[in-house]
Amino acid sequence: MTNPENTPTITNTTTEGKGLTEYEAKIYDRSIRLWGVDAQAKLRQSKVLFIGINGLMSEIIKNVVLAGVDSITLVDDHIITSADLSAHLFITEDSVGKVISTESVFAIGELNPLVTIDVYDKEIETMDDQFIKNYTIVVMSDKNLNNVSKINSLCRKNNVSFMFSHSFGLKALFFSDLNEFKYFIKKPTEPPTTETHTSIFKSFKESMGYDWSKTNNRTPLPFFALSTLYQFEEKHNRVPDNISDSDLFELKSIVNSSIEKFNLKNVEPNKYFDETKDLLNKINVEISPVCAIIGGIVGAEIIKVITQNMQVLNNFFFYDGIKGTGLVEQF
């Protein structure tokens, strides 16, 4: 996939790496052999904010903590129920009734004692520029797409990388907005040079308003469904209720008006509506293998964003556990 804004310019860039201890060199031996010492040094200087500590996020956190970031902050005051145990890595039966963020701290700490863990115990509405600027990247999982858009805007304004990921039963997706993302590819020339590449991202809000007429009637179902849910939430400022007839009726009319607006011929409106309904029905349903798959892919993307030494995915990914496909789309 070639990206028009992705033309390389060759420069000699200056980066400074802080030293790693001998113990770190041993612990991270295999990953250093893959992504290099400079990348490992960047990881240990990075701070990651996680909003929404569900099962999928526990997978992402595990991967990022093992990779060796400096510190992470958890945001989620949800009270744990038995059903939360389905795909979660940091809680047990004894955790039921407790607050998920604080309850997760101990198990995360065991994964890698070199990483500092904090909990932010206030509402996400209280996050401001000053707060968000502390982080290298913000990763979010939320069924409320208005919240996603809000945090994304805050990150964008402060030039902080942002990722959103959510699973829906056998399906899962992630979105990333890295604003203007630069990455550096080392070339083994004599003397060694570095190629600087830039990828331009869109905000969540902008992507959700995508002009589907450009997709030539090959509009991918899951992304269309997501944007349908988003339009509903933008209007009503809440997540639609999957057992409310009036909500479902309105979702159907959003689907129909989009089909008309973008002149999407040769498609069955029912297929789009069914996909929307399916996502909505599974919006709280997490199963372990799907969380592991999407969590692994998001984890790898976070590491790429921090280390800036490789091309990243721009800007949506969708995994479908029924078909087994994992597609990258740009909207």
Partner 1 sequence: MSERYSHIIEVLGQSTFDKIQTCKILVVGAGGIGCELLKNLVLTGFKNIDIIDLDTIDISNLNRQFLFRKQHIGMSKAKIAKESVLKYNELVNITAHHGDVKSIEFGSEFFKKFDLVMNALDNISARRHVNRLCLSVDVPMIESGSAGYLGQVSVIRKGITECFECQPIAVPKQFAVCTIRTNPSAPIHCIVWAKMLFGKLFGPKDDGDSSSLTDLDNDIIHGTEELGNIKRDEKLSIEKEKGFNRWVFHKIFHTDIETLIHMPDLWKDKQPPTSLLLDEILTSKQEQDKKEVEKIGDQLIFTLPDQKQWSFKENVEVFLDCLEKLKQQQLQQNGKPMTWDKDDELALSFVCSASNIRSNIFGIPMKSRFDVKSMAGNIIPAIATTNAVIGGLIVIEAIKIVDGRFDQCRSTYLYQLPSGKRLLMPVEIEPQNPKCFVCNRSFITCRLNTEKITIGQFIDQVLKKTLALNEPILTVGTDIIYEGGDQDLSKEEIEQRSKIEKKTLATHRLTNDTSLIVEDYNQDFQVTINIQHTTDFDEDVKKLKKQKQKEIDEKEGKTTLEKEKEEDDKFFEIIGKSTIQTSQPTTTTTTTTTTSTIDTNNKDSVVEDDDDFMFIEDIPSATTTTTTTNTNATESTTNKKRKEIDTDESEDLESSKKLKSNLQD
**What residues numbered 101-160 form the site for partner 1, per CB under 8 A?**
110-113
Query: What backbone phi and psi angles, to 5 degrees, belong to 80?
Result: -70, 135
Q: Whose Cβ is closer to partner 1: residue 125's or residue 188's?
A: 188
The conformational region for residue 308 under phi > 0 = left, psi -120 to 50 = alpha, else beta, is left
Q: Which residue in the set 89, 119, 124, 173 belongs to the binding site for partner 1 (CB under 8 A)? A: 89
Binder among 105, 170, 200, 283 for partner 1 (CB under 8 A): 170
Binding string, residues 39-78; x marks residues near partner 1 by CB under 8 A: --x-----------------x--xx--xxx----------
Pairing of strands 71-75, 47-51: parallel
With CA atoms as reference, report the closest residue to 136 among 93, 86, 82, 72: 72
Angle (deg, nearest 10), helices 245-261 and 221-236: 120
Between residue 258 and residue 317, which ones bind partner 1 under the rule CB under 8 A? 282, 285-293, 295-297, 299-300, 303, 311, 313, 317
Q: Rounded to whole angstroms, how far apart are CA atoms 268 and 81?
A: 39
User: Taking CB under 8 A as the rule, which mask of x and - marks residues 16-35 in contact with partner 1?
Assistant: xx-xx-x--xxxxxxxxxx-
Q: How far is CA 230 from CA 14, 157, 195, 260, in A?
A: 42, 21, 38, 18
Q: Shortest distance, CB of residue 234 to partner 1, whole angstroms?
A: 27
- From residue 182 to residue 221, the character string flagging contacts with partner 1 as x (rule: CB under 8 A) and all else as - is ---------xxxx-----------------------x-x-
Find the shortest distance in angstroms from Cβ 145 to partner 1. Answer: 21
Distance CA 115, CA 324 (A): 34
Q: How many residues bind partner 1 (CB under 8 A)?
A: 78
Is 151 within 8 Å of 105 (Cβ atoms)? no
CA distances from 173 to 28, 41, 45, 148 (A): 29, 29, 28, 13
Q: Which is nearer to partner 1, 93 or 123 (CB)?
A: 93
Minimum distance between the CB of residue 312 and partner 1, rounded to whole angstroms? 9
Sign of the CA dihedral running 174, 88, 62, 289:
negative
Considering the complex, state which of residue 148 and residue 312 has its C-beta at the smaller distance from partner 1: 312
What x-and-dash track marks residues 222-261 binding partner 1 by CB under 8 A? ----------------------------------------
Is 177 a binding residue for partner 1 by CB under 8 A? The answer is: no
We find the least distance from the C-beta atom of residue 256 to partner 1, in angstroms, to be 22
Strand-pairing partners, residue 161, are: 137
Judge contact between 68 and 42, C-beta under 8 A.
Answer: no
| Rg of the chain on CA atoms, in Å | 21
Q: Which is nearer to partner 1, 21 or 257 (CB)?
A: 21
Bridge partner list, 72: 48, 117
Q: Of 69 and 132, which has the nearer Cβ to partner 1? A: 69
| Shortest Cβ 16–partner 1 spacing (Å) | 6
